[in-house]
Amino acid sequence: MDRVIRIGLLGCGTVGGGVIRILATEGEDIAARIGAPLVVTHVAVRDLSRDRGLPIDSSVFTDDAMQVVEADDVDIVIEVMGGRDPAGKLVRRALELGKPVVTANKELVAHEGPELYDAAAEAGVDFMYEAAVAGAIPIIKPLKESLAGDRIRRVVGILNGTTNYILTRMGEDGTDYAVALAEAQALGYAEADPTADVGGHDAAAKTAILASLAFDSRVRADDVYTEGIEGVTAVDMTIAKRLGYTIKLLGIASERDGRLGVRVHPTLLPSTHSLASVRESFNAIWVQADAAGELMFSGRGAGGMPTGSAVLGDAIDVARNLLQTVRGPVETSHREVPLQPIEDLHTQYYVRLDVVDEPGVLAQVATTFGWHGVSISQVLQEGQAESAQLVIVTHRAREADLRATVDELRTTDKVHEVAAILRVESEVFEVVDAAGSANDDGS
Amino acid sequence: MDRVIRIGLLGCGTVGGGVIRILATEGEDIAARIGAPLVVTHVAVRDLSRDRGLPIDSSVFTDDAMQVVEADDVDIVIEVMGGRDPAGKLVRRALELGKPVVTANKELVAHEGPELYDAAAEAGVDFMYEAAVAGAIPIIKPLKESLAGDRIRRVVGILNGTTNYILTRMGEDGTDYAVALAEAQALGYAEADPTADVGGHDAAAKTAILASLAFDSRVRADDVYTEGIEGVTAVDMTIAKRLGYTIKLLGIASERDGRLGVRVHPTLLPSTHSLASVRESFNAIWVQADAAGELMFSGRGAGGMPTGSAVLGDAIDVARNLLQTVRGPVETSHREVPLQPIEDLHTQYYVRLDVVDEPGVLAQVATTFGWHGVSISQVLQEGQAESAQLVIVTHRAREADLRATVDELRTTDKVHEVAAILRVESEVFEVVDAAGSANDDGS
């Protein structure tokens, strides 16, 4: 062991701290596995004065991140600062210098992934991002390597721990959205500004990354149809449960008829499905492939130590490759499957209406659905003095038709309010045959 | 793309057929991912006269397996014939010739893995076996690569689909063991001679492989303490359920106090644990690591297509490495953690006794437990005319003490029969701190 692999760490928040802590305890075993020790030689931080209490010599810290990237004694750049700027600039510079990069930055990868893959390919170095999706759960590598011989049909994930925590509280304890969110913030799961989480944007970034790998295409965060959980109420959670469903924020990527549906939204899924029992802040990804069948991966999707573990797994891969002067498998985008607009989605819908409580209203509502070609599967009606709650679950319908139905209902004077519109997925979980035709989900 | 990667396939049963079928439909995408096509040039079969109806030219078939290994136009040897002989001889010859090997042969890897790893290392070629454990579920690669930066504390798996199917039927429908086994055989899950499955030997082989990787040690099938499910009754399934447990055949590998406990046996685990809801012939592996926390992987653990998918995932890795003239990460055994004898196991026990139904029996039985230092956590008594069923769940105790207790109970005239002894695991699923000390499972 005469060689040392030297790491330049960009960022030293919870993830960067996790990386340093894990290396301090596991360094010897890691060295034995690689055949050379991993040593952090530089750490870029914003605030040099802060004492982080980390098991590393304080001389490694600097507030000049670019200097870390460019340092002669840095073989691998690990970027765990997050955000697109200046992270993007630093990562691009590293690749330009021929230095492999490991990142946990989903935002960066989801928005600029394709350019970064190209830059890494051009430089002939590794660019790895296992930690960017679902923390410690190995999912990038399984999609890119383990399932490389298979045809993936669908990837469905619970990819955001904050929203899963909130939905778990709402579903199990009947907690209101605002209260559950405050609870998540108090526990440190949710940021002071929770928009990225509750608005579905964090999950959308991760879904874009998974879709790109699963379908050999270039899907970016902006390509993902995204709805957050802000509109989900405890009332809908309760009604969904009664109907046999659990509401989860799902990232869904699936291919049908040569088009790729990629979307994130609160979803009613059958309570019997394994994803429905993924509780609290846990993440999970369900994959369906032609030969492998159904696979599920679950675990902690965030946190400094779990994410640090994933970062180090990648760093070890990169180190092994460096020692052999090769690079790992690259992302391919040879299929470039066109995207399906959300209006063309075919799925089931849950619509809750606040209606006038008088005879004939259901008939009128049903007529509107029928007129737009949306067939009704289930109706639930509950009176409350002068108004009533009417819950309608449709059969599989086209999103555009459902939207037209709802637009018309909004103008009907018997309908006070369209209180909730949610998608119901059960067909997405049914097994398709190798031709992708039978029992498909229409997304 | 001027290079072709040529495969010599040893065996053409369900898995070999799966490999050929998948390559026929996914070959183009696989070529795009690797940068070179994978082509099967030779297939060794036992019976040349059989028409297999596979999408491959019949000229590739031969009954001379050694000739396939030695053929000039074979770059990668895929061994899917199973069994130790002649598979072991063929694999060793391939490695000797400097040809990388992919195998789905758990028996071979669990018994001769260490020698084969060494032979592959010496030849500087890949030896891969993702398909040997849990079919299509990626678990070898996650343990060897994704978690290489972490410290794994415990690996617990449902690793045999046949026994999981039988136990599911017994637990959910009250079916008797013999009937459930016959059903599994009728469905093609169980072999005519089901010993390897129901005796726990198949699961033990897989547990040995997982333990070796998780703990950087060399654990062989024979090192695994193994009990099968032949003694599990529908009665115990029912009582377990009432106590909040589900009975599963688990492979358990865990490290404590510098010793490695590796065992396979029917286990009462809390019904709330994710492993308890893994039903039918599905497999699952639960991993606990210091930084990553809890992870779970589940899916189809057997079958030609799922196993074929895993084989091809490995073959693609090998092909990528061949094109760069390198080899993938190797198994390390630098820790060589000594094994813990089963007598030193500390866990909880479920003991069902058939006793004389008269006053004072419970007191006498309890005294025997107490005398051997085994403390009782729960007692359940049910009278049936002149005899009664006495079910005792102990607190955490040492296996040797429990055995001494049971031996003495067997000589007591008030005890007709010790009808069942099963291990109860709940602590194995509790999260340990980084020092591995708190809440540990004692295995």
pLDDT of residue B189: 85
Retrieve residue B114's tokens: 């260490």
Minimum Cα–Cα distance from A23: chain B residue:
B149
pLDDT of residue B357: 87
Which of A181-195, A233-247, B90-104 has the least mean pLDDT? A181-195
Mean pLDDT, residues B367-388 taken together: 89
Supply the pTM of this predicted model. 0.95
| pLDDT-based confidence at residue A21 (cuts at 50, 70, 90) | very high
Q: How far is CA B168 from CA B116, B162, B195, B250, B351, in A?
A: 36, 10, 18, 14, 21
Residue A129 has pLDDT above 90, yes or no: yes
What DSSP string runs through B308-354? HHHHHHHHHHHHHHHHTT---PPP--SS-PPBPPGGG-EEEEEEEEE
Half-sphere exposure of A84 (CA within 13 A, CB side): 10
CB A175 within 8 A of CB A339: no
pLDDT of residue B431: 65
- Nearest CB among A136, A326, A334 relative to B292 is that of A136
Tell me if chain B has a CB within 8 Å of the CB of A416.
no
Residue A78 has pLDDT above 90, yes or no: yes
Mean pLDDT, residues A82-97 taken together: 97
Q: How does pLDDT run across A396-432, given as a tens digit for each residue?
A: 999 999 999 999 999 999 999 999 999 999 888 876 5
Tell me if chain B has a CB within 8 Å of the CB of A272.
no
CB contact under 8 A, B25 and A313: no
Of B38, B95, B249, B82, nearest in space to B162 by CA = B249
CB B388 within 8 A of CB B356: yes
Mean pLDDT, residues B388-392 taken together: 94
Instruction: Work out the minimum CA distance from A107 to partner chain B, whole angstroms.
Output: 22
How many interchain CB pairs under 8 A, A with B? 204
pLDDT of residue A384: 66
Q: In residues, how long is chain B?
A: 443
Tell me if chain B has a CB within 8 Å of the CB of A22.
yes
Residue A436 has pLDDT above 90, yes or no: no
Tell me if chain A has a CB within 8 Å of the CB of B397.
no
CB contact under 8 A, A313 and B137: no
Instruction: Work out the minimum CA distance from B235 to partner chain A, whole angstroms.
Output: 26
Residue B298 has pLDDT above 80, yes or no: yes
The reply to whether A5-136+304-323 and A342-425 are identical in fold is no
Half-sphere exposure of B244 (CA within 13 A, CB side): 7
Residue B260 has pLDDT above 80, yes or no: yes
CATH 3.40.50.720 fits A5-136+304-323, yes or no: yes
Minimum Cα–Cα distance from B292: chain A residue:
A306
Residue B1 has pLDDT above 70, yes or no: no
Residue A438 has pLDDT above 70, yes or no: no
At the topology level of CATH, where does B342-426 sit? Alpha-Beta Plaits (3.30.70)
Find the catalytic residue in A99, A106, A144, A206. A206
Tell me if chain A has a CB within 8 Å of the CB of B133.
no
CB contact under 8 A, A335 and B274: no
CB contact under 8 A, B324 and A324: yes
All residues of chain B having their beta carbon less than 8 Å from the beta carbon of residue A303 are 293
Tell me if chain A has a CB within 8 Å of the CB of B18.
yes
Mean pLDDT, residues A134-142 taken together: 96
Which of A89-98, A157-166, B423-432 has the least mean pLDDT? B423-432
CB A43 within 8 A of CB A112: no
pLDDT of residue B387: 78
Among the four given CATH numbers 1.10.40.30, 1.10.2020.10, 3.90.79.10, 3.30.360.10, the one describing domain A153-300: 3.30.360.10
What DSSP string runs through B255-277? EETTEEEEEEEEEEEETTSGGGG
Tell me if chain A has a CB within 8 Å of the CB of B161.
no
All residues of chain B having their beta carbon less than 8 Å from the beta carbon of residue A299 are 292-296
Mean pLDDT, residues A311-326 taken together: 96
pLDDT of residue B384: 67
Query: Domain locations in chain A?
Result: 5-136+304-323, 153-300, 342-425
Residue B442 has pLDDT above 70, yes or no: no
| pLDDT-based confidence at residue B385 (cuts at 50, 70, 90) | low
**For A342-425, which CATH superfamily applies?**
ACT domain (3.30.70.260)
CB contact under 8 A, B141 and A137: no
Q: In the annotation, is A206 catalytic?
A: yes
Mean pLDDT, residues B233-255 taken together: 96
Mean pLDDT, residues B7-34 taken together: 97
A47 by Cβ neighbours in 10 Å (0-12 / 13-18 / 19+) ranks as exposed
Residue A189 has pLDDT above 90, yes or no: no
CB contact under 8 A, B291 and A149: no
Minimum Cα–Cα distance from A30: chain B residue:
B149
SS3 for B408?
helix
Of B29, B210, B241, B226, nearest in space to B130 by CA = B210
Who has greater pLDDT, A383 or B132? B132
Tell me if chain B has a CB within 8 Å of the CB of A210.
no
* Beta-ladder partners of A248: A267
pLDDT of residue A65: 98
d(CA B320, CA B307): 20
Of A132, A227, A225, A299, nearest in space to B284 by CA = A299
Half-sphere exposure of A186 (CA within 13 A, CB side): 7
| pLDDT-based confidence at residue B435 (cuts at 50, 70, 90) | very low
Retrieve residue A153's tokens: 């049909």
Mean pLDDT, residues B14-33 taken together: 97
Q: How does pLDDT run across B63-99, given as a tens digit for each residue?
A: 999 999 999 999 999 999 999 999 999 999 999 999 9
Who has greater pLDDT, A208 or A193? A208
Q: What is the CATH architecture assignment of B151-300?
A: 2-Layer Sandwich (3.30)
Mean pLDDT, residues B137-145 taken together: 97
Sorted by sequence, the CB contacts under 8 Å of residue B279 that are 6+ apart come out as B164, B168, B172
